[in-house]
Structures are given as structure tokens and as C-alpha cells.
Structure 1
Amino acid sequence: MFNGVILKWVFMRKINKPPISLRRLIHFMHRKKNNIALIVGTMIDDRKIHEIPTIKVTTLRFTKMARAMIIMARGECLTFD
């Protein structure tokens, strides 16, 4: 069931998969400790953030800066490959 839901999102058109910013992800994952964020789309950076918690993120693609910011905060960046 879970794999079917993810597969459906992967095959969606690009216009229906808008990018998500790092600030929005931190807001969503605020109370969810030790969970992996699963994003079917692009993860982009947000230069307004100064503190990034340690998070694990799985997504289709990262921007270079978003990946660097997550890794500097001792987080993990995973892709669906």
C-alpha cells in the first residue's frame, strides 16, 4: 500500500510536485523526532534559517545548498534511487 502511494506521487506531472523549502520542512517535522521526511519533489534551501535541527530527508532531488545545509546540521540526505 505504501509503495503504491509513493509510486503514484513519483509518476505525477512536475507541475503537481512543487518544491518544498527547508523552512517548511522544519515546520512540519518540528514535533516528529527520529522520523524520516519523505518528499516527492525537490528540496530547496531557505537562507532565512539560521538554526537547522538534525533531520533525515528522503526526496527526489536536492539543491546543492539545501543538501549542504542539512549535512552541516548533521542530518541525512537520501534519494529514491
Structure 2
Amino acid sequence: MVGTPPRLSDNTHVRNAASVFGEQHEALRAQKGADLFEVLVCDRNSTDETAPLALDDAGSQDLKFVVAAATSGRTSR
């Protein structure tokens, strides 16, 4: 049997965010009364430990890791 799908997705684009990744993810998990949600971590060519940290957490039910390599010199806001 498949579990209940999340109602919301948080799309988080990161680049070299290893120093804050754990703290931010824990803050999301600690929310009380929030609808069921998932976190999509989109890595933008990090050169630090962001990718390994996210991959370590990717086995949890609320986090998915996506490599989102930048294709141009611009980023959207």
C-alpha cells in the first residue's frame, strides 16, 4: 500500500549551502500543524558538501534530491 502523498512541495534551490542545510531542514521538519509536505532540494552546482548532506537525508520520506545544474550564468529569483 502506498502512503498518503504530500499536499505541498517546497522547492529549495541551493548552492554551497552545507553550512545551513541541516539547520534549515530541521526547521522545516519541526513545524507543527502543517499540511503533509515534501522538500525538493535542487542543487545548483555546489562545490561544498551540500550534495552529500542532501543525499544522506534523501532516504527520509520528506526529502528528494535533484541535481539542477545551471545552464546559464543567470539565476532566477
TM superposition score normalised by structure 1: 0.38
**Higher relative helix content:** 1
Instruction: Work out which of the two has the higher radius of gyration on C-alpha atoms and give 1 or 2.
Output: 2
State the structure with bigger RCO (CA 8 A, min sep 6), 1 or 2. 2
